[in-house]
Amino acid sequence: MLIRKILEVMAVLGDVARIIEELVSAHPYILLGVDYRGRVIYQSNEGGFNSIWVLDPSTGVRRRVSKEPILWTTMVSDKRSRIVFTRDVSRGRELQVLGYIDFSRDEEFVYGSMKPLRIFGLADDGERIAFTGATETGVSIYLARGDEVSELHRLDALAFVSDIRGGVVVGSGHLRRDPLSTEIFIYNIDSGDLRIYTPKEGSTNQYPIILGDGKILFTTNAFDGKNMLVLLDPETKEITRLFFEKKDLEKYDPVEYIFYREYGKDLFVIGKREGRSRLFVNGELIDTPMGMVLSAYPYENKIFFTYTSIMKPPRIMLREDGVVREVIGSRFSRDIEERFGSIEFRYIESIDKLRIPIYVIRSNYYDKTRSAVVYIHGGPWSEVGDSWSILIASLVASGFNVVAPNFRGSTGYGEEFRKLDIGDPGGGDLLDIEASAKFALENGLGERLFVMGYSYGGFMTLWTMFNRPDLFECGVAGASVADWEEMYELSDAVFRSFIDTLFAYKKDLLRDRSPIHKAESLRKPLCIIHPQNDTRTPLKPVMRLINKLMESGKVFEAHIVPDMGHVISSIDDAVKILLPALLFLSRCVKESKK
């Protein structure tokens, strides 16, 4: 009897390990640009960690040019001479230093003397690097020039640099401390003057870039509530809507603009709606496969772009003479590929009648589990679209149908929808998770339901398991928030600003929406997976939750991942999250069948 059980466990472990090994070996390839020699610059975790690579299209020769793991990057600079990156020097705690790759020698330079910061919002003009950095006490604009890094201006707001050009730095954020609006900032490096601009009080204005004529292009919903691209003359303050002679972009009518950049006389725009995106050049549609186009970069008469879908990790594609082909990408074995079934996008009605967009991904291996997983994305200002997620892919390959709701608060469906979560995390979005579970059962997607999420999705997994204790048979909470109050105290300036914004400064709500105070309500098995060095959702409150669950006699397991931060940035990180999650769900299937 014992030997049979051991063999059964080994068989499950072997299958799970094989699935994970193949999925993590399917490396993403993300386009960063083309250098002055015509080489494709890209980001990948090939070799085990996140790094920058160069590919010579004429020879097919490629090699890694960053020496150690990197965290964030810019696109290749307009001069095509370098690319800027950040490197975590704190074992996952996201304290970073700045660096760049000089393409003339393919050498790495790191600002080793700078004080490590949480860096976000990078921009590079080829000579100067502007970025937003956070310490425990504040958020500021910084400038790197030559071999020195200096603090330019204190912002103390949830704000991000997005461009630098001609001695001007621009960005956007909650500069008026209004959680329901964002403003543009324009900073003059020489004078030190910072101007805050909004075309309409209370509107959302994001991602400004500086064009060659000095005008500022950004996204706003100030005029009719819908996101649109507008041009601001910084001298006259005149604002005009961006129109093109070609009308394809206008007809497509994007809900969001996820990428726009000027290349010479051409303006590249990637618009998105309902989880899929299209590429436009000067308003004209460029034919690309269905899914998500994430970035694009022209060279001579060619257009390189990053493409992905739910079934395909990011890959670099080339469009030349009207023909699209793959430059570099990953492949699965036939067995894994055949496990992926159909993808369906649709809207469902939430418990309070609100219309909620969802993705349904079916597994052709479903008969193995007869189960479905409601997957809750992170953010909350993010979304599940037709793009690669190794968490979703691992579930589908393991035989689970996946229902992935874009609950209220998700991006991709307009600002009014995104703002519905502000001041109410764990409120209306809980109704949307409940409605998604009901939809899955009523449509025969699973005889039993599980729930899984990471980051904000981990919080919502805990929140759902504690507040709707009979809704799911099991739950997996990764990098979750257990106690918003304690998280606030442990956070640096930027994440305190994030919590203030998310909760609309309702400090009394922090305790009310903290899962740790509802732990006694847990009725079904729970798996907690948490990175040791996470500074976004710190481990300390989660350890207190674990103790509380233990003292209450609840059925749970906990996995603390050593030397890992919040971001899943390496192959090892992915394995350490996926392995306990999939083994736990496999046991849940077995126990539920009993």
Q: Which residues are catalytic?
A: 455, 534, 566
Tokens 């469906």 belong to: 413
What DSSP state is assigned to residue 49?
B
CA dihedral 515, 519, 524, 529 (to 10 degrees): 60
What residue spans of 415-483 are helical by DSSP H?
415-418, 428-442, 456-467
The residue length of the chain stands at: 594
Q: How far does Cα 170 stand from its chain's mean position?
A: 22
Amino acid in position 403: V
Q: Are 369 and 582 within 8 A, CB to CB?
A: no
Closest C-alpha to 211, from 183, 230, 193, 228? 230
Tokens of 339: 């496990």
- Would you say the C-alpha torsion 367, 371, 374, 378 has a positive or negative sign? negative
What is the SS3 string spanning 67-131?
Answer: CCCCCCECCCCCCCCEEEEEEECCCCCCCEEEEEEECCCCEEEECCCCCCEEEEEEEECCCEEEE
Tokens 């209450």 belong to: 552
* Distances from the Cα of 272 to the Cα of 97, 173, 198, 256, angstroms: 33, 21, 24, 5
Tokens of 123: 């921009």
What whole-number distance in Å separates Cα of residue 583 and Cα of residue 100? 40
Closest C-alpha to 440, from 384, 375, 486, 536? 375
Q: Are 84 and 100 within 8 A, CB to CB?
A: yes
* Helix, coil or strand: residue 35: coil
* Distances from the Cα of 570 to the Cα of 47, 130, 267, angstroms: 9, 26, 34
Contacts of 10 (CB under 8 A, 6+ apart): none
